[in-house]
Structure 1
């Protein structure tokens, strides 16, 4: 029995990056031998065991063969005869197909270290094209390592293109797709993930609503970058630069989908794109079964982001409606995420990345004023039920009018 550290732990050590998760492969062992040594089985599809002390996962070396559509369409074979090289060849990228023994002696049959040095993401074997999830994984690695200068090898991009055109991407489950998308959006350069998906034709399959934004012009006065797709990538980039959470990044990606529906004869204007885009945002949310908080914020940002930009001009009554829509009294954090999504939208424009956004503090102040209107005096006046709600609304409106007057004085 031989035990090797494989995959990401080896890759990240060689890159000088922190190693978090460690994968282990056991060569030359049987299930019975693993159990006899106290390992606990956890794998339903193939033999994976938990170490009796550390709890880390140890997998028997295995081969795999395509047997159906999608990510799960494989049969696995694990036995003591499977070599380390046979186990490594089934992996996606050469930089993930290296192994180390306990002395840090490197086993690198597919030249992963060479590709690390050359900053290339390259597939290990033609079997890469058997797993559609790898299209998303490679795009995610491109986003993760873009800052180090990594690019996707042309021949790998071509295989990804073939996969995108094959219909295999449609076989991915919403859960598997969302896991990769959400992880990619939280990388340092999530816009690279979207760009790589577009380069290989996968974006058109997975998110045609986002793909449709490229080539759609906007007024140059507000959008020096002009192209709506380019703007969307820039907004996503800003959300990562400012360390925003997943909810905000997801909303940033989807906020302008309505512009993809604008008839060409109306370009570069996009009247009411906030409302036309809601059905598209809802469709993307449902397609990937995004978490509820991501879905809600994306819809609210899509509907109200232009309100955010025009905050200083809004009538007090409109401002109150906006605050009510977000339920700022019980869910203040959601409104804060809306504000920062609007700010990312404002900054995601060519040459305007450093612009100030006074709307943010103005909206925060408005929310604070509305929340501070006390209920108790109204109760003491005898208001209750629906009448209490209306009285509270009137007091909040009065407070917002005073706030607006003071801000513009």
Structure 2
């Protein structure tokens, strides 16, 4: 009965997150579900509190990065990036797609996948309309790269942050091990997109627009220093959340100085509701883990980081992501793979690439779908599934092969 109740709570929370009735935040269902899990004795209060405390630095980092991305957008970083992409791709849709790939991969790696979906996708729509090209390839690139391009840095995705905390790897070591898998996955995505959207990419683009957007030098400099600050601050014992918060503060000061009332609105960009959702979801997942899922994950997860073990782990993570969403999948699989940094990184390949297969794989994909509906450009479910069926298995195989090669060369297992 306890496992039935625990699974029921998780299904209810995820179902609410997918549907978001009346636009209500995910926390509206997740927080009561977490409280019910504790009250029903599925999770002892002490265990729930320890889980929240352990997760707090990760969620703090998430909030800081969300604010950093919002401020970068307010300073014109995304408008400038879109203007550069439009200039580079004028007259040539394939070149425009290449520019969107480069921008989306960079934004995802540095400012997280949510920035790519929420802030970059509308800009890409506007750029495609300005150049009179079919938006489909470029808009789909936003959601695919929001997921698959989030492999590079610990800061690129909440799933990365969760695994990074358990991996024992430093920031630079994590990036070094994931750089080749990241490039391999991007290369496969590029080939698949060129083939899948071949007809759309033959329509000539319009003439090059004037590059009217000024480069936001101050914001770009702050972002650059923030990214460089992550690996340098870690050996000094400075948590990455503090580095991200410092970058956000530097971007916020000029704006608040001009408009002091904006300080209150910036607090909303920390998205406390989503942070509460992450905390509550962790407790609900803990209830499921304590009543059987941990044992199943331990039984299914390979013991060694051989090529076969890495591949099985990545495909298991991808499958679980499309069943229960990639954040719960990460929370379930990280403890089972924590004995091996290699297996943990394979989990990330699965939970980051796998969600491109279905809408429910990641919250970012669900947000992207909502944005397309608001632009009266609702994606075709058949087309989305077909593109995912072509790209996901190939990306998983390429990413795992690259990871295995890096682990063999580095001696990390």
State the TM-score bracket (shorter-chain normalisation): under 0.3
Higher RCO, Cα 8 Å, sep 6+: 2
**Bigger proportion of residues as strand:** 1
Give me the TM-score of the superposition, normalised by structure 1.
Answer: 0.22
Higher-Rg structure is 1
- Give the TM-score, by structure 2 length: 0.22
